[in-house]
Structure 1
């Protein structure tokens, strides 16, 4: 069996160009096929720290990304019908005080563009195309496309997101791997009509929540609605206007800043309405095919870990291929095993975040939770003034670090 050389990557978002960069650096020949006609520059706000920032640092991109980013916004909660303001204590865990792991906020489009520009030299990109068939054999993979001639490659990597084309062709239909988290997410970008600065403002009601967050630079706001349902709301057959009217109905009796946000939503540039879902799989590899990023282990946007997992997965997959000298029978199982702890942590964050932002309880349950928050934040503020450390559970992600695959000097 000849060693792996040419690797076809389906998807040019975050995981795709990150993987292409590392593969090229390790002497492989990556080819990226992307359904869109060009790199997508839109998208939501990303907060990154820990291993995600560390992965960018190892690519030599952290300075460049930070120059186009900002500090994570300060959390503010508005509680009860009186909208009483309670500031969330800002307290960076010890593991994130190092520069290469310190938190920052950046637009997804900025991150994707920098990754693409970093990878495109020496990497073939095929835009406006998609894989139609994948046929594996002992010595390679024959791939057919919508618009391009067929190719024979050594490996195929699906980095094509939650609705992965590669996953559906090789592993089976999406419903086999999709886990509904009990909430539906609406997220969109509008001009900063409120004049907020460096803040993330939250309010919650029974079975619903809302957040308004500034983008770096404070010229735009990200509006977020999260609400519960027993089954995922299927809105694919609805127009954007019909989806917005459904959100209007669900939040019709909410106060606070919601009425103004619903009006501003009508002029949003990137309105998204989607069930909160994760991809859960027993294996992210099969034969000569591997999945990386959301296609294999989407943690859900509420986790804030999607881009981190994409960067970490790309780093580990490429490094394991290098360590195995291109032998995919050794590299792919090693990649699968190495990613498990990162994925388990990130998907657990989503369970906590959705339960916190959209309470699974009625009016009195929300009131009790608000009192707990007020008491807890008061204690946390006092502890911070006394320079006391956080409980270890708050910094569980700090125990996750990237293995250094570089050979010892």
Structure 2
């Protein structure tokens, strides 16, 4: 049985790994000419994703590439004295299994886990998907697949082709983010330097293996801003306008916008769909249920979703009419919880008042200095993240020694047959 996966970031390679282990034949198409190595930002893997990574045999590599961020120096806008925070204490209190890793590193690790068993089509994308599984590409010859799965992120091409325009499903939650690479002139090593003001937060961090540093900007906007997704100059101007005058150090970071080798800008948006499946097509990760970039634990949700989808397809013997609804039922509670986490995190990370700014600073300091027991209890009272992600229960889908899935045929009667 042949399955086409669109997207080679996090969900796509994890899904490809597990589908091949269950006996399916997998092709992954990725618009970029190679794995993306354009900077990006750090993402969190919580216990369920760590467990799945361990089953894949890649956990040692994930831990090896962890940023290791364990200290934070937090400046409140207009206050000269910083708050110093023991992040290692907070992370251990929040989750017994947690690691922070760069998204690009994570993508590469998952890709390496199964690249020898998966066909990858880089520098290409899907242009048409027919109900019978016929697929046309920008560059490759047309082909037919039994199933097509969109793992191509918040602005999913597969979702647009099958379900319609993104505006039908996106829910703007009042904020934007920007990420850029910049020289690590501060010599940050496993440390996060953060500035927080009303409606705006920016942090810079570094790790030994990165070479440079990353700056993550988050800011609120009552309404959606007008810009084209390819107009990088306009995006940089919006970022400058939102953070101008916050602090001389932040101004120096903004100066790097004209020199940075990597830049990303987007709204913080949640996807809200009644179903992620239609016919032979389904969605996984941010393509189907993004809880919000930078605030919602989307990497963990993507890993869990990919594992569950592959497992349900194997459990149903490749019958998507049974597998897709089972997958959506299994993920529904996790998705609802992640949406609540995203909204809560956005409010906490980008305070809306002076009291909120002070609360973020003092709350972080208090959690980091209290003994483990009280700090864990306080954290659970003040954030939903630890409770939601630590409570995720995922079925075990052990790969069978031999799977009937691999012997199934597509509607044309020939495994992987090309369109005439």
- TM-score normalised according to structure 2 size: 0.86
1:16 maps to which residue? 12
Between the aligned partners of 1:296 and 1:209, the Cα distance in structure 2 is 28
Deviation at 1:119, TM superposition (A): 1.6
- Secondary structure in 2 aligned to 1:301? coil
Contact in 2 for aligned 1:55/1:315 (Cα 8 Å): yes
Equivalent of 2:123 in 102, 124, 128: 128
Counterpart of 2:104 in structure 1 is: 109
Structure 1 unmatched ranges of 5 or more: none
Larger relative contact order (Cα-Cα within 8 Å, sequence gap ≥ 6): 2
1:311 aligns with 2:284: no
How many residues of Structure 1 are paired with residues of Structure 2 in the alignment? 393
Q: Which residue number corresponds to residue 279 of structure 1? A: 271
User: What is the aligned counterpart of 1:294 among 262, 267, 286?
Assistant: 286
Partner of 1:81: 78
Contact 1:44 1:189 in 2 (8 A): no
2:344 alignment partner in structure 1: 352
Distance across 2 between alignment mates of 1:301 and 1:153: 31
Note if contact 1:74-1:199 (Cα within 8 Å) is conserved in structure 2. yes
8 Å CA contact retained: 1:210, 1:357: no
Comparing 9-18 with 63-72, greater Cα deviation is found at 63-72
- Summarize the alignment of residues 48-197 of structure 1 with structure 2, pairs less than 5 Å apart: 48-89=45-86, 90-93=89-92, 96-97=95-96, 101=97, 103-137=98-132, 141-197=133-189
**CA pair 130-214 structure 1, distance change in 2 beyond 3 A:** same
Task: Identify unmatched segments of 5+ residues in structure 2.
Answer: 402-420
- Retained in 2: the 8 A contact 1:69–1:106? yes
Check the 8 A contact 1:107/1:215 in 2, yes or no: no
Match of 2:195 among 184, 200, 203: 203
Contact 1:299 1:305 in 2 (8 A): yes
Moved over 6 A (4+): 385-388
Q: How does 1:216-295 map to 2 (within 5 A)?
A: 217=209, 219-236=211-228, 239-255=231-247, 257-295=249-287
- Contact conserved, 1:69 with 1:216, CA < 8 A, in 2? no
Q: How many angstroms does 1:375 deviate by?
A: 4.8
- The answer on 1:214 being equivalent to 2:206 is yes
Report the secondary structure of 1:56's partner residue. Answer: helix
Which of 32, 36, 40 is the equivalent residue of 2:36? 40
Residues 6 and 214 of structure 1: is their aligned pair in 2 closer, same or farther, counting only changes over 3 Å? same
Q: Deviations over 1:186-221 (max 9, x none)?
A: 111112111222122222222222212224546322
Higher mean C-alpha displacement, 31-40 vs 331-340: 31-40
CA–CA separation in structure 2 for the residues paired with 1:266 and 1:191? 13
Q: Any idea what the Cα deviations from partners look like across 1:332-354, whole Å, max 9, x if unmatched? A: 10101111222222222221222
* C-alpha RMSD over aligned residues: 2.4
Mark the CA change 1:273 to 1:54 in structure 2 (over 3 Å): closer, same or farther.
same
